[in-house]
Amino acid sequence: MAARVSPTPRRRPSTPTLCTPNVIQHFRPSSEKPVALAWSLEGSFLAVAVQNGPILLLYVLPTKQGALRVNPIRTYRGHTADVLHMCFSRTNFLLSASMDHCVRLWHTDTALCLRRFVHPDMVTTVAFHPRNENYVISGGCDGTARIWRPADHACVAQTDVNAVITAAQFCGEGKRAYLGTYDGRLLVLDVREATQTPGENANNQEDLQRSFGALVPVRKADDKLHVAPLLKVGRSVNLRVHRRKRRKPGAKVTALALDAGCKRTMALCSDGRLHVVEGDGEPYGRFKAGARKEGVPLGSSTSVDGRWLLVDGVGSAVRIMDVHRVGSSSKSGRHGKNGGITVERLQVMEQAQVTCAALATKGVLEHGGVEDVERTLVMAVGGDDGSLRIVSCLYDVDVDA
């Protein structure tokens, strides 16, 4: 009788390993719990939106040990309900989208509100154009995406998608915009004509500074709804999962982010899947990011090298996904077996529940004096007890990536 030969165990692909998170700073900036966070691209600021509307601006303090700290310097007041999303421009302008039906524009040099863009319903997402910061896109519960030009307070284009818009993001070059919806669709918009003013050079920083320099604090006359020319949807991708004879309903898109090479767009959905599409919207692959509808969405936040993507908050921990193999995964890995894509769980709170989190930008790490920028993850995490933690951890770089 032939001896039974045990099968050779499969060799797991090597992946970066995250170390245990180290708490750099732990304090309570407000009596209200944090609901949204945003790090500045330039690296000097952290914006913390707390419950019921106020936004706290914190300054990043470099230390001799390379462990950055933050210190409150200013409070923005104007929103009358929770802020759902925030983002910074390269020149330290801050956009905030709120449940009070408006988007507000701020700057780190003043506590005054510079612009107020009114919407007919709650605003869930907002983003700056990556190459021409004089244009922003917003979307919300009214199902209409709008492109604004803050310098003259104009809505230059809009499109109705007949669904709640849950995420919006420009591509790396700003030629297209992507919209994620509550019913599980990814829409691709061609925004080249809408975001280019005649005679304006999108790459000329002097033109941008001149446009923004004309901004003055908001007036009551500006608080009105704007109607703009329609913007056509170039492509609509259904992010649904087909199971033989039955088809599952589309899952809400909770975040949009670009991959490390800015060639593909990653759409994170509430069913625990990460959908990846090419620049023109052509589906590329689908990966498992976690359990369905288990955690709190944390928005689109990626690490400095594009290797890690925040997935959600689960209890007192956050889940973070290794996406550095998304662009090189095999065909089999892109259709259900994850192709080396892993999800790690980081314990960042002791007893409090995670309400929001954001990974620090490269500018923050450099400004804060962090030595090994490429191997360090720094994130701000808010808890339901009103606390804010700045945590960091190192990871081993995969030489085979």
Q: Quick one: average pLDDT of 378-391?
A: 91
Residue 11 lies in a domain: no
Is 111 in the same domain as 134?
A: yes
Does any domain span residue 333?
Answer: no
Residue 360 near residue 379, CB atoms below 8 Å: yes
Least confident residue range of 82-96, 295-309, 331-345: 331-345
d(CA 110, CA 287): 43
In a domain, 382, yes or no: yes
Given pLDDT bands bounded at 50, 70 and 90, which one contains residue 23? confident
- State how far the Cα of 261 lies from the Cα of 340, in Å rounded to an integer: 18
- In 197-328, DSSP assigns E strands to 233-238, 242-243, 246-247, 253-258, 265-269, 273-277, 283-288, 296-297, 308-314, 317-322
pLDDT for 364: 85
Least confident window among 123-132, 167-176, 294-303: 294-303
| pLDDT > 90? residue 78 | yes
pLDDT of residue 363 exceeding 80: yes
261 and 212, same structural domain? no
400 secondary structure, DSSP code: T
Q: How far apart are CA 105 and CA 116, in angstroms?
A: 7
Q: What region, left, alpha or beta, does residue 24 occupy, with left being phi > 0 and alpha being psi -120 to 50 degrees?
A: alpha
Q: Give yes or no: residues 212 and 303 share one domain.
A: no
Of residues 248 and 26, more confidence is placed in 26
Q: Are residues 125 and 273 in the same domain?
A: no
pTM of this prediction? 0.83
Q: Identify the CATH number of the domain in which residue 211 sits.
A: 2.130.10.10
pLDDT at 398: 56
Q: Which helix (H) or strand (E) holds 367?
A: helix 362-367
* Contact indicator for 51, 35 with CB cutoff of 8 Å: yes
C-alpha span between 191 and 48 (Å, rounded): 30
Max Cα–Cα distance, the chain, nearest Å? 92
Over range 207-226, report the average pLDDT: 49
Q: 199 in the Ramachandran plot: left (φ > 0), alpha (ψ -120 to 50) or beta?
A: left
More confident residue, 343 or 95: 95
**What is the predicted pLDDT for the residue at 300?**
74
Examine the domain organization and report whether 266 and 181 are in the same domain: no
Q: Which long-range contacts (CB under 8 A, 24 or more apart) does 306-310 make?
A: 306/258, 306/259, 306/260, 306/261, 307/16, 307/260, 307/395, 307/401, 308/359, 308/377, 308/395, 309/257, 309/266, 309/268, 309/274, 310/255, 310/357, 310/358, 310/359, 310/379
The answer to whether residue 255 sits within a structural domain is yes
Q: Which residue has the higher pLDDT, 368 or 111?
A: 111
Q: Name residues whose C-beta falls within 8 Å of residue 193's C-beta, 6 or more positions apart in sequence.
A: none
Note the pLDDT of residue 53.
Answer: 87
Q: Of 111-125, 142-156, 167-181, 332-346, which range is least confident?
A: 332-346
102 pLDDT higher than 60: yes
pLDDT level of residue 176 (50, 70, 90 thresholds): confident
pLDDT of residue 12: 45
> In which residue are the tokens 């991959």 written?
259
* Mean per-residue pLDDT of the chain: 78
- 176 compared with 237, residue with greater pLDDT: 176
CA distances from 156 to 13, 174, 193, 346, 378 (A): 48, 15, 10, 43, 37
Query: Both 214 and 291 in a single domain?
Result: no
Which pLDDT score, from 0 to 100, does residue 334 have?
Answer: 47
pLDDT number for residue 336: 47
State the pLDDT at residue 204.
46
Residues 245 and 385 in one domain: yes
119: pLDDT confidence band, cut at 50, 70 and 90? very high
Q: What is the pLDDT of residue 224?
A: 53
Domain that holds residue 356: 17-29+230-328+339-363+373-400
Same domain, 266 and 210: no
Question: Is the per-residue pLDDT at 210 higher than 60?
Answer: no
Beta bridge partners of 313: 296, 318
Q: Is the pLDDT of residue 108 over 70?
A: yes
Separation of alpha carbons 191 and 168, rounded Å: 13
For the chain, what percent of residues have pLDDT higher than 90? 29
Does residue 394 belong to any structural domain of this protein?
Answer: yes
**Residue of 111 and 224 predicted with greater confidence:** 111
Do 183 and 163 belong to one domain?
Answer: yes
Looking at the structure, do residues 264 and 384 belong to the same domain, yes or no?
Answer: yes
Residue 399 confidence class, pLDDT cut points 50, 70, 90: very low
Q: Total structural domains in the chain?
A: 2
Mean pLDDT value across residues 25-33: 87
Q: What tokens appear for 10 in the block?
A: 């499969």
Count CA atoms within 13 Å of residue 388 on its CB side. 26
Listed residues 185, 220, 255: the one ending a domain: 220
Say yes or no: 297 and 384 in one domain: yes
Instruction: Identify the CA nearest to 295 among candidates 319, 321, 314.
Output: 314
- Whether 62 maps to a domain, the answer reads no
185-194, 290-299, 311-320, 352-361: range with lowest mean pLDDT: 290-299
Distances (CA, A) of 87 to 47, 48, 97, 100, 126: 9, 11, 9, 17, 7
C-beta of residue 54 within 8 angstroms of C-beta of residue 104: no
Q: What is the pLDDT of residue 249?
A: 63
| pLDDT at residue 303, rounded to an integer | 77
3-class state of residue 392 by DSSP: strand
In this structure, are 212 and 252 located in the same domain?
no
pLDDT of residue 220: 45
**In a domain? residue 69:** no
User: Residue 58: inside a domain, yes or no?
Assistant: no
